Copies of this chain bind each other. A is one copy, B any other.
Amino acid sequence: MNGLLTDLYQLTMAAGYVQAGKARQSATFELFLRHLPPDRNYVVAAGLAQAVEYLLGFGFTGEEIDYLRGLPQFSRAPAEFFEALRGLRFTGDVFAVPEGTPIFAGEPILTVRAPLIEAQIPETYLLATIGFQTMVATKAARMVEAAAGRPVVEFGTRRAHSPEAGVLAGRAGYIGGCIGTSNTLTGLRYGVPVFGTAAHSWVQSFASETESFRELQKLLGTATVYLVDTYDTLEGTRRAAALGAPLWGVRLDSGNLAELSRAARAILDRAGLRDARIMVSGDLNEYKILEMSKERLPIDSYGVGTELATSGDAPRISVVYKIVELEDGGARRYTLKLSEEKETLPGAKQVFRYADHDLLGRADECPGAEPQALLAPVIVDGELVAPLPDAHAARAHAAECREKLPTAYRSLFTATPPYRVEHSQALRSLYDETRRAVRR
Q: State the A residues within 8 Å of B (CB).
A: 2, 4-13, 15-17, 19-20, 22, 25, 27, 29, 54, 63-64, 67-68, 71-73, 76-77, 116, 120, 123-125, 127-129, 131-132, 135, 155, 157-169, 182-185, 187-188, 194-202, 204-210, 215-216, 218-221, 223, 229-233, 235-236, 239, 253-255, 306, 310-312, 315-317, 319, 321-323, 326, 328, 333, 335-342, 438-440
Contact = CB atoms under 8 A, between A and B. Distances in A.
A198 B16 contact: yes
A166 B339 contact: no
Contacts of A77: 219
A221 B162 contact: no
Given A20-B206, A127-B159, A207-B439, 10 more contacts: A4-B184, A4-B185, A64-B188, A125-B163, A128-B166, A162-B162, A162-B165, A208-B440, A229-B339, A310-B316
B76 A221 contact: yes
Nearest to A66: B188
Contact of A132 (B129, B162, B201): B162
A230 B123 CA distance: 18
A12 B201 CA distance: 12
A326 B157 contact: no
A222 to B, nearest CB: 10
> Which 10 pairs between the two chains have the least Cβ-Cβ distance?
A9-B196, A8-B196, A161-B161, A315-B315, A127-B158, A164-B164, A204-B335, A7-B182, A201-B323, A254-B339
A54 B164 CA distance: 13
Contacts of A187: 8, 67, 71
B159 A162 contact: no
Q: Name the residue in A76, A315, A317, A333 with the highest tally of chain B Cβ atoms < 10 Å from its Cβ.
A: A315
Contacts of A135: 161
B13 A202 contact: yes
6 contacts: A5-B164, A12-B219, A19-B218, A73-B196, A162-B164, A230-B339
